[in-house]
Chains A and B, each alone.
Chain A
Amino acid sequence: MLRFINICLVVALVALAYVIYDGKYQARALDEDIVGLRKDIDTEQDAVAVLRAEWSLLNRPERIERLATKHLKLAPARPQQIVTLDTVSDNDFERVRTEAADDTLPAASGPATKVKSVPVSGVAPAPGAPANLDEDLPASTKTVTVKTVPIKASPIAKAASSAPLVIPPPVTVSPAGE
């Protein structure tokens, strides 16, 4: 009887030892995973920082202004062109809408639907210029050739262009991630 109990205890001890060692190794592997993931996150954050800096560099007001004057038929808004909604009556709106519709193809059913087709390819209008509602916009967008403007003498551009930025597959930020 006593021997049976002892054997049982020894077996239990061995089993317990195995479970503990297994748990320990799993924990260590997870720790290593954490370190690796932290490092990956750091790398991603650094890459994001570089991209944000580059985004900001490419969106400098003077660059946008230069591109807008070159590629867009936009001018700064004049005071006459600024109206508040409460000064516009329904009649005014209808009149302008029908006039505009008369000038174009019957398919075009007013400025409201036109707004959708404004793929001005990343080039924002000059500061202060209102959204483009032009009737012949589709035609003008064809003429817009978006060149990649070479950026000279900027440290970020240098860092970004000379380095193929060791960025592993794009960051997929899902809110449901663990």
Chain B
Amino acid sequence: MAREPHLSAAASPAERAYLAKSRGRYRIACLAFALSFLAIAIRLVSLGFAAVEPGSGGIRDISTTVHRPDILDRNGRLLATDIKGATLYADPAKVIDRDELVEQVSSVLPDINTGELLEKLKQGKRFVAIRRELTPQQQAEIYELGQPGLGFIEEYRRVYPVGATACHVVGHVDVDNKGLAGIEKFIDDNPQLAMSAPANDTGGEAVTLSLDLGVQHVVREELVNAMSTFRAKAAAGVVIDVKSGEVRALVSLPDYDPNHREQALDKDRLNRMTSGVYEMGSVFKTLTVAGALDAGSSTLHSSYDASAPIHVGRFTIEDFHGKKRRLTVPEIFIYSSNIGAAKMALDLGIERHKAFLQKLGLLNRFSTEIGENAAPIVPSPWVRLNTITIAYGHGLSVSPLQLAAATLPLVNGGYAVTPTFLPRSRTAELQAPRVIKTSTSQSILQIMRLNVLKGTGKRANVEGYRVGGKTGTAEKVVGRHYEGSALLTSFLSVFPTDNPEYLVLVMLDEPQRVAETHNEATAGVNAAPTVGKIVDRIAPILGVMPKLPGDAHKFDDKVLASY
């Protein structure tokens, strides 16, 4: 583009004019080339920066099921995980010879319905699923067939290695790996849960629960034993940390194996701890006494005349373990006097009684991570008779877990801690609202311990672990009457009573009078000993230190004796 003086010197005026004109064109052409090269360069650079799509090497991975986080117990033991399996499908548009394909596939999978498959292939859809959850070996064999119309989809499949042991808490998933019940459903509703949790050792996501698999197993096993010993229809049990509200174990029998999800449809296998409401019986006296002591309408030294039944309308309130005399408050509790409890509740007053139960959350539906509990059945209107019967646990139906939750403040010093299935620190109680006085809580612990030492709960006593508790024997409503032979027995307990750590609630549905219990069927002979056996086994797992009188804890031969 330099000026060309030698040309201009020799050129004629016409040429000069021509050159002057073409110089402009020459510049425009140069500019056009420069611009287009610049454009190409920019495009190249931008392509260079663009991310290469992963997996573009021709390997297809069309997965239809979602990958779920693992579920672990508090000690990192696996409760649920995903493993991969292949699903075989056919694309009819690519199939060359249908009959040959069906024949070859059935040589690997002999149990498929060949006629039906042939029919589906003829319909001309683009996707015919043949078999889910192939084993790697079957997959390899089908791959060897070399049929063009066949393909595989890698799918995740949920497995529950511990089977039925924790089924009601963990829940289960549907065929597309979506959570249907329990924590599985909670995870789907709260995806942030898995993301915030620390990854497991394979780098996948994991959700840790408050459950302890060891405790869960013991509770389940003891309940299975109790169900067969006392020939009960059903049983349920829960262990809760009273300070943090963490549920350490929750069992409801009969249960199901979440690996066979169709079992969960059976109505009989529902979670009785949360989905059933029951009139819990005398365990409610714990609440009645707590309400009366907290409001100051009674003290531990108050006494009530329990010698004669109470008549209200056409109802007569009597005592099962009748003493026919004046009873003090601890006596009412340990002899489980209906008359005494009713009189205490009346002393407290109908409104205050109701308000106290409301404060403990017994009159409203409550929910946990494993779903909403069944709503309590609250009498309306709430009259004097209701207060009398609710004082000893009839006339108000609640789910057992709700009762356990309401009892937590009674035994942890007065803090309304809510039960949770996720890990929580024990300092949580300090943030929870205080609903009753510490002194009331102390008194309740004393009389619960007294009941196990001297009252109806004797069989729950366990060497070293200071169990305290209250029995409950309720007659079930069959048709329109209370049926004396259909009982619901329960034992609400806490250990160790000098510094409460865990609450244990066990419930047996229709235990029978059997020889082992001297033809009795009350809670004192079936639910109480079941709790005793459970506490005896779980206390060492939970790290509760035993205390024995004297120097039984000496380091000597006895310590080494059983090895």
CB atoms of B136 and A156 under 8 A apart: no
Residues of B within 8 A of A77 (CB): 540, 562
* Chain B CB within 8 A of A11 CB: no
Q: Which of A53, A74, A87, A96 has the most CB of B within 10 A?
A: A53
Q: From A134, which residue of chain B is reached at the shortest CB distance?
A: B563
The 8 Å CB contact of A96, one of B135, B465, B546, B560, is B560
CB atoms of B84 and A46 under 8 A apart: yes
Nearest chain A CB to B219 CB, angstrom units: 11
* Chain B CB within 8 A of A26 CB: no
Residues of A within 8 A of B536 (CB): 76
CB atoms of A49 and B84 under 8 A apart: yes
Binding site for B on A (CB under 8 A): 31-32, 34-36, 38-39, 45-46, 48-50, 52-57, 59-62, 65, 73-84, 87-89, 92-93, 96, 99-100, 127-128, 132-134, 154-156, 159, 162-166
Chain A interface SS verdict (over half): helix
Q: How far is the CA of A81 from the CA of B552 in the complex (A)?
A: 9
CB atoms of B554 and A92 under 8 A apart: yes
How many chain B residues have a CB neighbour from A under 8 Å? 55
Q: How far is the CA of A1 from the CA of B17 in the complex (A)?
A: 32
Nearest chain B CB to A103 CB, angstrom units: 11
Residues of B within 8 A of A60 (CB): 161-163, 165, 217
CB atoms of A93 and B555 under 8 A apart: yes
Residues of A within 8 A of B537 (CB): 76, 127-128
CB atoms of A132 and B562 under 8 A apart: no
Q: How far is the CA of A56 from the CA of B140 in the complex (A)?
A: 27
Binding site for A on B (CB under 8 A): 52, 54-57, 59, 77-79, 81-85, 135-137, 140, 157, 159, 161-163, 165, 202-204, 213-214, 217-218, 221, 259, 463-465, 536-537, 540-541, 545-546, 548, 552-563
CB atoms of A53 and B162 under 8 A apart: no
CB atoms of A163 and B562 under 8 A apart: no
Contact A81-B561, Cβ < 8 Å, known A52-B81, A61-B213, A127-B214: yes
CB atoms of B83 and A56 under 8 A apart: no
CB atoms of B213 and A80 under 8 A apart: no
Q: From A50, which residue of chain B is reached at the shortest CB distance?
A: B83
Residues of B within 8 A of A89 (CB): 555
Q: How far is the CA of A80 from the CA of B551 in the complex (A)?
A: 9
Q: How far is the CA of A38 from the CA of B81 in the complex (A)?
A: 21
What are 28 residue pairs bridging A and B, where the CB atoms are less than 8 Å apart in the complex? A31-B52, A31-B56, A34-B54, A35-B56, A45-B203, A49-B81, A49-B202, A52-B78, A52-B202, A53-B83, A56-B77, A56-B78, A56-B161, A56-B162, A61-B217, A61-B218, A73-B563, A78-B463, A78-B562, A79-B465, A80-B464, A80-B548, A80-B558, A82-B545, A82-B546, A88-B555, A96-B556, A96-B560
